[in-house]
Structure 1
């Protein structure tokens, strides 16, 4: 066993249910082959159940596999015939049914087959880790703990790490390193209490919300309008989330809390409402059953009304006075307005916030090492913008505490629970030195494991100290800064990283400064996506004015900046996460290298708004196709690239982006988004230490020319005649083919990059002038959805 990190050459997942199979899928994204176990089948193949689970991974959405090819690295196994194969596994995670007797039986069977240095963990979300440890073979106890993934495992950042009293501390450190470094997760260590942290707080919040909704007589649709993005939570809000989770699952969870938390002052809340039982009895279990709290009837979404016992039309409208309070920017002022309880909606919102803060403060010492673990768990596990202690602190710690205490004194909370003494002894839950630990009565600093040194810009909670680097140059459009003196970082300040004239000017400034005094340039966004593309609204406004000269200048300026970056004397790295679309992807494609988070979604999507890529994207694909098939026929690859651009395909992961040519074989894929800057700096230094030499400019390639264009158009003709595309789609596709193939010239004619850029630019401008393109652009800006006209 290494002292620094857990080396996992092969893993095993015990249980091929929904969670088990998806955990196996995510392990393959980390380059780890997996044995997936389940019960044996009576007939051959004996591992049919596990094999079926692997096949199902290819059908699920969102996709559990970062690439469909990874399914080949999951080997179906069964518990009767294949236990000896566990000897080859370094990491074994159990994810079978939540029954102590069944788990005990399995643990006894597998114990003799697990090697001395392997780690054995359980993915349980409800059973006590300490009780489970009692049925674990003695030889495995010190390497056993809870590792609770959230569903879906690929996309949910949170993993809860739960020890029992006999878990070796070094085991926990190695697991935290492995889960963070190799699987890209945000690890929160939990105490072994009911539902651990995220579900303890999250489920309480849901039941508190449902309780107050019923008390105030608010419709389920109104509650979702109030408890989603309006208060910094996901669109699924409360009742939509219940449908996604499953109403039967929700009922089971609340029964568990009712049974296990009998001493909880809020225990009376842990009762399933009558309407829930009625929906479950009717088979309306939520999203998986096609109906739950919400039900789709034709094109209309209807909501269950417990008063009538039937579904009615949804109404998400809110009174203007409530919307005005929700729009208040200052969190303290907003909470103070809510606490006045002038309207049913504001009384409801104050009550659910008050109860959340009260509950978390009361139980902090019991369920978490510090306030940090609760806030990070709710951010990462439930998608909240801010955790409960952050919200409280931002609104004014003492001010909110006084409001809560006033309600307690007036017996408005409905529980006999005081605010703990520590609340009045601190100025907030988080400070420069760390977060408050109620159990220890002192500030708890951030964990200092070596893996966290790789996170140059981790998530910081409100009140924590942060290091934002040294600014070198800043405008309204871009910030140029450093964390380490040798590498310059460029961060776009525009919304969604959109590219406009200011950004192009900023990129040129970045190249000036990088070439003058730095080893390289990294393009990275502190928040949000890498870039959603060109500033469509600015272009649409210019077109509406008939100002095509400014559009031409922006396109040409962007092309020139991209070419300048490609041939600069210093290396550049695009550190990509989230969306990299259109011009944003073209920017990344012109960097010397790319470092991409696994969850990067890349595509040249301009066809969807009636345009074509004009920042050098088509030229780059043509050059790459020629380089990648220098000794063979370029047509199959050119056809593939053409189809993905003409159809506006977007890679579903960084791995898919490699297959589409948007990432190159030498580019890196990082599983933890907070390690992007670390990896990008490493690439810059590696290139520099190897004596970086930019590619030679003015390269020529043989154009696909008129033959290539004609062949691509035949694809369009078939789609047009089959009514799969419109006449305008045909027009756009034809122009994409022309720009990609080098124009209507003889096949094999040498063309250079600037000629290909010229074709992109001219066809882009001609499409801009077409009414149908302008309709598409306007529709996208208005609705956020593409128009097929």
Structure 2
């Protein structure tokens, strides 16, 4: 079926509906946002003389929702200007406009009767070919369209986004009994490639996959707490990072989700499952219902299992004592098993370490985890066709590092099943049969290929051609060169990838050395270079600890050597005659940005938080960051009659305030990325797209890139910037040390004490950077800032 989704309509402008519309706008899809017509005027509307027939009133809900999108945190939009792609309306006047779109998504109240009434109205104006879906989190897809025509049902399915839609990777697609296969075949790649989602196909069962397993996990944990007398803090200590789950663990997660929402999900399960043992698990505990009745429903009510209170030091977080129903200061939890897990690296090793020690907390983790593993195994075939959908749903929807079956493999399938049976648990027959057949795991990897259990045999997990795994390439012996900080890996087709793998991907001498080695290797044997990695963040900057140690010891020659080495390496990268593509993702700060600036193209993940933040630790960018931004400006504004000062002032403000982009699109707005740099919505596709960009540049003329002089604003421009800093100091916005840093930054960005319009060399600008950086390293307050950042993870204002 040849069709594309170019326009959409979202019905329901609540938080979720508006956020889905925002994400559609993020990827360039215009959409209608429709809601009901208000039945009463607001006071402001009355003062304006409006009536219930006024368009402003009739569209009020959608209009206000769009306004909120620009203010909400975390931001639903990559850039608030994208809100212009969303057109507000109402379902009385504008429902017929769904004929103009390719996809309609319903996001109204979770009430079957109301949804059915809406779809009856939608069908009256619907035209064949338009895809219609519901964002329900658990109501039956088939039940919603009971009574609708066969053709409508064929074009109908569930598309369950997880909240917030921009940031959460999971999207469950739930076909109905009559949904055409070709409709699923359109939606799956669209949601993956265009919306950047991790898509799983779920069956039309209560709460689908992720909420089914997630709610069960929370219920067994709650029940274990109430039965054994564990505290809130103990539960969260054992159900968070110790077992490969988010820091929010159980009760912080419940507070974020909302206890009222969770009770709704639980009641939905309780009513719809028929198995009595399963019903018993999903019965809402009395304590939870009491909390909802009191309005203690979590973060949106500012209290749930945790409560923030103000004190003389700012804010303090209290936890609920479930015995007394009083909030108390949190107690620190410590135990041998938890300490062992904390010391281990990676989710698999943490789990093994946790269960290698027998204590109260290892028992708690085992008792809750065991039930989730058994439940997941029971539901294979019922809620999803394979273990893969279940594992991916839990990783993408609940941010678990390992899905249930990956977890089972990590703790040892045979050993754990033996313990379960010894303790009287009922293990699904298919799991016992699998082990009796001589298998020791649900997954296996062989020569970079993953296999998983399916119908009593290992089945190959079909690779996605747009997903390039550096781990797999390493397993296939594709490493060309490597040291402790980085590796050069063959991506095939003449392209090599430089991967950072130092702690936090911080840049030190080992990475700089590998960049130089990579340039030599690619020059001789490859056509292009991609700089990318698949760590949590692309790069958090240079190795600040190493720099601080040298500064504290006053080893100024060594500090200068480090900076000069960084500058020279970036200069060589920029001058390299073959294509260089940088592919940043998530946190890309300081030196991480300076590695990207010399690249011929940047192919950035949409979720890239990009910034030269050196001012936050009392320094200025000195790896070519200042030079490169001024050089780009000089090359862009070529008319000598055009005043550069306003543009330089913007750079000065961006660097001086250590601004970090909220997305890759915002990085373009801040001037860090260029127009020719591209944005990739699906982060798993980032390396593939970077490779494609390199291959395209290979086809172009790749002659040596000559150095060009840089036009600067000179001493006059410097004075203007420094005056601005002085005024901010007088107004109390910045400290004396902030002003000192700003003055140094102004000196560098202006090109020093030269006349306005002077053209200077790149090396001259690099020398200015290095001199300013060295002088700031000698300042005690800068060293205090560096130390504070390393110990506290946040900037010090001194």
Shift, 1:434, TM fit: 5.5
User: What are the within-5 Å matches in structure 2 for residues 310-329 of structure 1?
Assistant: 310-320=326-336, 322-324=338-340, 327=343
The answer for the alignment partner of 1:279 in structure 2 is 291
Residues 87 and 334 of structure 1: is their aligned pair in 2 closer, same or farther, counting only changes over 3 Å?
Answer: closer
The answer for the alignment partner of 1:404 in structure 2 is 420
**Contact 1:435–1:445 (CA<8 Å) still a contact in 2?**
yes
The answer for the alignment partner of 1:658 in structure 2 is 668
1:564 aligns with 2:572: yes
The answer for the alignment partner of 2:61 in structure 1 is 49
Shift, 1:163, TM fit: 0.8
The answer for the alignment partner of 2:280 in structure 1 is 268
Cα separation, 1, equivalents of 2:657 and 2:110: 45
Residues 554 and 114 of structure 1: is their aligned pair in 2 closer, same or farther, counting only changes over 3 Å?
Answer: farther
1:254 aligns with 2:266: yes
Residues 767 and 262 of structure 1: is their aligned pair in 2 closer, same or farther, counting only changes over 3 Å?
Answer: same
The answer for the alignment partner of 2:49 in structure 1 is none
Cα separation, 1, equivalents of 2:462 and 2:21: 28
The answer for the alignment partner of 1:427 in structure 2 is 440
The answer for the alignment partner of 2:24 in structure 1 is 27
1:535 aligns with 2:548: no
Residues 203 and 493 of structure 1: is their aligned pair in 2 closer, same or farther, counting only changes over 3 Å?
Answer: same
The answer for the alignment partner of 2:582 in structure 1 is 574
The answer for the alignment partner of 2:606 in structure 1 is 598
Q: What is the SS of the residue equivalent to 2:133?
A: strand
Residues 767 and 466 of structure 1: is their aligned pair in 2 closer, same or farther, counting only changes over 3 Å?
Answer: closer
The answer for the alignment partner of 2:45 in structure 1 is none
Cα separation, 1, equivalents of 2:711 and 2:523: 32
Q: CA RMSD in A?
A: 2.2
**Contact 2:161–2:172 (CA<8 Å) still a contact in 1?**
yes
1:674 aligns with 2:684: yes
Cα separation, 1, equivalents of 2:735 and 2:466: 50
The answer for the alignment partner of 1:353 in structure 2 is 369
Select 1:689's aligned residue among 692, 699, 703: 699
The answer for the alignment partner of 1:640 in structure 2 is 650
Cα separation, 2, equivalents of 1:9 and 1:272: 43
Select 2:140's aligned residue among 121, 125, 128: 128
Q: Which runs of 5+ in 1 are unaligned?
A: none
**Contact 2:501–2:535 (CA<8 Å) still a contact in 1?**
no
Residues 173 and 330 of structure 1: is their aligned pair in 2 closer, same or farther, counting only changes over 3 Å?
Answer: closer
User: What are the within-5 Å matches in structure 2 for residues 521-532 of structure 1?
Assistant: 521-532=529-540
Q: What is the SS of the residue equivalent to 1:308?
A: coil
1:625 aligns with 2:633: yes
**Contact 2:238–2:338 (CA<8 Å) still a contact in 1?**
no
Residues 625 and 338 of structure 1: is their aligned pair in 2 closer, same or farther, counting only changes over 3 Å?
Answer: closer
Shift, 1:704, TM fit: 0.8
Shift, 1:690, TM fit: 2.1
**Contact 1:14–1:36 (CA<8 Å) still a contact in 2?**
yes
Cα separation, 2, equivalents of 1:303 and 1:633: 58
User: What are the within-5 Å matches in structure 2 for residues 158-307 of structure 1?
Assistant: 158-263=170-275, 265-298=277-310, 299-307=315-323
**Contact 1:490–1:524 (CA<8 Å) still a contact in 2?**
yes
**Contact 2:421–2:427 (CA<8 Å) still a contact in 1?**
no
Cα separation, 1, equivalents of 2:353 and 2:501: 32
Q: What is the SS of the residue equivalent to 1:266?
A: helix
Residues 592 and 328 of structure 1: is their aligned pair in 2 closer, same or farther, counting only changes over 3 Å?
Answer: closer
Shift, 1:740, TM fit: 0.6
Shift, 1:444, TM fit: 4.4
The answer for the alignment partner of 2:461 in structure 1 is 446
Can you list the C-alpha shifts for 1:55-94, whole angstroms capped at 9, x where unaligned? 1111111000000110111000110111222111112111
Cα separation, 1, equivalents of 2:235 and 2:663: 34
Q: What is the SS of the residue equivalent to 1:601?
A: strand
**Contact 1:66–1:653 (CA<8 Å) still a contact in 2?**
yes
Cα separation, 1, equivalents of 2:538 and 2:427: 49
Residues 620 and 249 of structure 1: is their aligned pair in 2 closer, same or farther, counting only changes over 3 Å?
Answer: same
Residues 66 and 672 of structure 1: is their aligned pair in 2 closer, same or farther, counting only changes over 3 Å?
Answer: same
Can you list the C-alpha shifts for 1:467-490, whole angstroms capped at 9, x where unaligned? 656111111121001121400110
The answer for the alignment partner of 1:772 in structure 2 is 781
Cα separation, 2, equivalents of 1:669 and 1:14: 28
Cα separation, 1, equivalents of 2:15 and 2:188: 24
Shift, 1:267, TM fit: 2.4
The answer for the alignment partner of 1:737 in structure 2 is 746
Residues 543 and 334 of structure 1: is their aligned pair in 2 closer, same or farther, counting only changes over 3 Å?
Answer: closer
**Contact 1:104–1:136 (CA<8 Å) still a contact in 2?**
no
Shift, 1:228, TM fit: 1.2
Can you list the C-alpha shifts for 1:361-398, whole angstroms capped at 9, x where unaligned? 12222112111111111111111111111111122211
Cα separation, 1, equivalents of 2:692 and 2:344: 43
Shift, 1:135, TM fit: 4.1
Cα separation, 1, equivalents of 2:696 and 2:635: 24
Cα separation, 2, equivalents of 1:466 and 1:544: 39
Residues 350 and 634 of structure 1: is their aligned pair in 2 closer, same or farther, counting only changes over 3 Å?
Answer: same
Q: What is the SS of the residue equivalent to 1:365?
A: coil
1:473 aligns with 2:486: no
Select 2:388's aligned residue among 372, 392, 395: 372
Shift, 1:117, TM fit: 2.6
TM-score (norm 2): 0.93
Shift, 1:324, TM fit: 3.1
Which has the higher mean CA deviation after the structures are superposed, 530-539 or 107-116? 107-116
Cα separation, 2, equivalents of 1:441 and 1:342: 34
Which has the higher mean CA deviation after the structures are superposed, 324-333 or 235-244? 324-333
Shift, 1:112, TM fit: 3.9
**Contact 2:116–2:145 (CA<8 Å) still a contact in 1?**
no
Shift, 1:741, TM fit: 0.7
Shift, 1:772, TM fit: 0.4
Shift, 1:526, TM fit: 2.3
The answer for the alignment partner of 1:749 in structure 2 is 758
Select 1:119's aligned residue among 116, 131, 136: 131
Residues 403 and 553 of structure 1: is their aligned pair in 2 closer, same or farther, counting only changes over 3 Å?
Answer: same
Residues 322 and 70 of structure 1: is their aligned pair in 2 closer, same or farther, counting only changes over 3 Å?
Answer: closer
**Contact 2:616–2:658 (CA<8 Å) still a contact in 1?**
yes
1:17 aligns with 2:14: yes
Residues 730 and 533 of structure 1: is their aligned pair in 2 closer, same or farther, counting only changes over 3 Å?
Answer: same
**Contact 1:198–1:378 (CA<8 Å) still a contact in 2?**
yes
**Contact 1:542–1:548 (CA<8 Å) still a contact in 2?**
yes
Shift, 1:453, TM fit: 1.4
Residues 321 and 66 of structure 1: is their aligned pair in 2 closer, same or farther, counting only changes over 3 Å?
Answer: closer
Cα separation, 1, equivalents of 2:386 and 2:513: 45
Cα separation, 2, equivalents of 1:496 and 1:668: 25
Q: Which runs of 5+ in 2 are unaligned?
A: 39-51
